Amino acid sequence: MIYVNNLGVRFPDRILFDDVNLTFSPGNCYGVIGANGAGKTTFLKILSGEKEATSGDITIAKDSRMSILKQDHFAFDDYTVLDTVIIGNKRLYDIREEKNAIYAKEDFNEADGIRASELEAEFAELNGWEAESEAGILLQGLGIENSLHEKYMRELTGNEKVKVLLAQALFGNPDILLLDEPTNDLDIKAVLWLEDFLSTFEGIVIVVSHDRYFLNEVCTHMVDIDFGKINIFTGNYDFWYESSQLALQMAKDRNKAKEEKIKELQAFIAKFSANKSKSKQATSRKKLLDKISLDDIRPSTRKYPFVGFTLSREVGNEILNVENLTKVADGTVLIDNLNFRVNKNEKIAFIGNELAITALFEILEGHDTDFEGEFKWGQTITHSYFPKDNNDFFENVDLNLIDWLRQYSEEQSQIYLQGFLGKMLFSGDDALKKAKVLSGGERVRMMFSRMMLTPSNALIFDQPTNHLDLESITAVNNGLISFKGNILFTSKDHQFIDTIANRIIEILPDGSSRDKTTSYNEYLEEYYVKQ
């Protein structure tokens, strides 16, 4: 069990949440939802002890172990796969590192000898000699083959990385599993795999996600962060959503008698639980639903940012021409002789091998010059890029949001920059907070502001929907549909791809490619459904 007592987090300018009282029980899977910046990651960090709350406390049974899979999937890029897993037992990893450092010394003295023997004893006690083989077995079980175990994390696909990070979390043999947006880098197959995995995990799972489908599949409870409060609701995401919408509608409609409202809601609850009668947990869930009262449900207040890109100028005939492009990384052929020419009005979705797609975008942006073949942007083209990994833009940067944005703007006035921030829902004092404290989704919104500042006529996006809440995804989706220039992009969001792209280029596992002028659904129909 986890007991949260009177928990509060306050920043100088703002209360994130306060008076939070919650209980989490084993066997349940809790889905944490809330807008970007609502405090989901902060809440998980407080549960795991990484951050301190301003007030209140958390009680967890003494002997229960807790592991966390963090929102930043790039954090271990410079570690090998095996080491990343072993870090899951931090003490063991630290001992091993200190021990190895002592043995590597040339002037090994007596004190070093004593220290080394102390470390050896603790290492053996923690079963250190078994660690590598245990980590290996765990990885194998998650489908990470032996050939990958000595590779660096940066050489892995997003899918593989998340599995390794999960192995890291499981390495400590936890009773409580905290997962912060685990589905961000996963493809559909891997998400299904994670759903299965979580449904058989017996401890407490607390998972942050913006993926409706995933939340519906795995969660028994929703933890909603809104209005500066955190509340637990029984049921999955759909149930929470429908009932909060209904509550909102009722709150607006003040003419109706209160009893009538209650009746309506009860009818809805009855209908909903009947609909779900086929689901696995039907009986227990139905019991829980019966307990829900009107007071448990509150309307939600989510806001939509505005995303719109200005066209710099009409494009000429030459937009982008790629010829015989080949990219090999760490001995693997990512792209094998790729040829394509971008035509007017084309919005191209790249699907398939994500490492290859990121490599291609980095080449087209001039960030990576280690390739064969050629590419040429047209004279009239100004292109703008949204990279998948934005850590470099924010870490160790001591600027507030206005000054952060000013770095990328010709027009330097405060009012002008505030206008852009306002569209991205950073209004008033929000604009004065430090860029480095931003949440995952807030960083993405800043990256969009940066792109929106400079008019261009070709946009490249590498996974723009990762980290964003549903409202922001909708805003980005609409912004890209209405953009009048060219777009090259990749995303894992089905609807997003289908509503934006009119051409699909798939990079296959061997580096070869397939190129079709068609919608995403038609493409899938042709190559994946028919076969």
Ligand X SMILES: Nc1ncnc2c1ncn2[C@@H]1O[C@H](COP(=O)(O)OP(=O)(O)OP(=O)(O)O)[C@@H](O)[C@H]1O
Task: Give yes or no for residue 184 binding Mg ion (CB under 5 A).
Answer: no
Token reading at 33: 């939802």
Task: Give yes or no for residue 36 binding ligand X (CB under 6 A).
Answer: yes
Q: Least separation, in Å, of the C-beta of 39 and Mg ion?
A: 8
Interface residues for Mg ion in 9-48 (CB under 5 A)?
Answer: 40-41
Closer to Mg ion by Cβ: residue 346 or 493 = 493
Q: Least separation, in Å, of the C-beta of 34 and ligand X?
A: 5
Closer to Mg ion by Cβ: residue 182 or 235 = 182
Task: Give yes or no for residue 305 binding ligand X (CB under 6 A).
Answer: no
Q: Least separation, in Å, of the C-beta of 58 and ligand X?
A: 16
Alpha-carbon span 319 to 461, nearest angstrom: 17
CA distances from 420 to 403, 406, 414, 479 (A): 12, 11, 10, 14
Residue 168 three-state SS: helix
Give the DSSP letter of residue 410. S
Element (H, E) at 205: strand 204-208
Residue 510 three-state SS: coil
**Are 103 and 112 within 8 A, CB to CB?**
no
Residue 14 phi/psi, 5-degree rounding, is -165, 145
Alpha-carbon span 170 to 85, nearest angstrom: 9
Residues linked to residue 221 through DSSP beta bridges, in sequence order? 30, 234
Q: Least separation, in Å, of the C-beta of 38 and ligand X?
A: 4
Closest chain position to Mg ion (CB)? 41
Token reading at 472: 């922001």
Closer to Mg ion by Cβ: residue 37 or 174 = 37
Closer to ligand X by Cβ: residue 182 or 440 = 440
Task: Give yes or no for residue 243 binding ligand X (CB under 6 A).
Answer: no
Q: Least separation, in Å, of the C-beta of 65 and ligand X?
A: 23
Closer to ligand X by Cβ: residue 386 or 520 = 386
Q: Count Cβ atoms below 10 Å from residue 251 Cβ, excluding itself.
A: 11
Q: Least separation, in Å, of the C-beta of 50 and ligand X?
A: 12
Closer to ligand X by Cβ: residue 34 or 464 = 34
Among Mg ion, ligand X, none, the one that 298 touches (CB under a kind-dependent 5 to 8 A) is: none
Q: Least separation, in Å, of the C-beta of 71 and Mg ion?
A: 5
Size (the chain), residues: 531
Task: Give yes or no for residue 183 binding ligand X (CB under 6 A).
Answer: no
Tell me the per-residue interface mask from 45 to 84 with ligand X, x by CB under 6 A, - otherwise.
--------------------------x-------------
Q: Which residue has the tokens 């245990």?
A: 134
Q: Which of 31, 39, 158, 235 binds ligand X (CB under 6 A)?
A: 39
Task: Give yes or no for residue 38 binding ligand X (CB under 6 A).
Answer: yes
Among Mg ion, ligand X, none, the one that 39 touches (CB under a kind-dependent 5 to 8 A) is: ligand X
Task: Find the farthest-apart pair of alpha carbons in the chain and give their distance in angstroms, rounded.
Answer: 85
CA distances from 132 to 116, 170, 209, 267 (A): 20, 14, 31, 56
Alpha-carbon span 151 to 86, nearest angstrom: 14
Q: Which of 39, 128, 172, 440 binds Mg ion (CB under 5 A)?
A: 440
Interface residues for ligand X in 209-228 (CB under 6 A)?
Answer: none
Closer to Mg ion by Cβ: residue 148 or 424 = 424
Task: Give yes or no for residue 235 binding ligand X (CB under 6 A).
Answer: no
Alpha-carbon span 73 to 159, nearest angstrom: 10
Alpha-carbon span 113 to 110, nearest angstrom: 5
Tell me the per-residue interface mask from 505 to 524 with Mg ion, x by CB under 5 A, - otherwise.
--------------------
Q: Least separation, in Å, of the C-beta of 13 and ligand X?
A: 7
Which residue stretch of 34-42, 115-123, 249-257, 287-295 sits at the interface with ligand X (rule: CB under 6 A)?
A: 34-42
Alpha-carbon span 491 to 354, nearest angstrom: 9
Alpha-carbon span 196 to 211, nearest angstrom: 16
Q: Which of 96, 261, 347, 467 binds ligand X (CB under 6 A)?
A: 467
Residue 91 three-state SS: helix
Tell me the per-residue interface mask from 422 to 461 with ligand X, x by CB under 6 A, - otherwise.
-----------x---xxxxxx-------------------
Q: In sequence order, which ranges of 37-109 are alpha helices (DSSP H)?
A: 40-48, 81-86, 90-103
Q: Least separation, in Å, of the C-beta of 254 and ligand X?
A: 32
Which residues lie closer than 8 Å to 3 by C-beta, 6 or more apart? 22, 23, 58, 59, 60
> Which of 367, 366, 368, 384 is CA-nearest to residue 376?
366
Task: Give yes or no for residue 390 binding ligand X (CB under 6 A).
Answer: no
Which residue stretch of 17-25, 67-75, 102-110, 362-370 sits at the interface with Mg ion (rule: CB under 5 A)?
A: 67-75
Q: DSSP for 491-504?
A: -S-HHHHHHH-SEE
Residues binding Mg ion (CB under 5 A): 40-41, 71, 439-440
Residues binding ligand X (CB under 6 A): 11, 16, 34, 36-42, 71, 433, 437-442, 467, 469
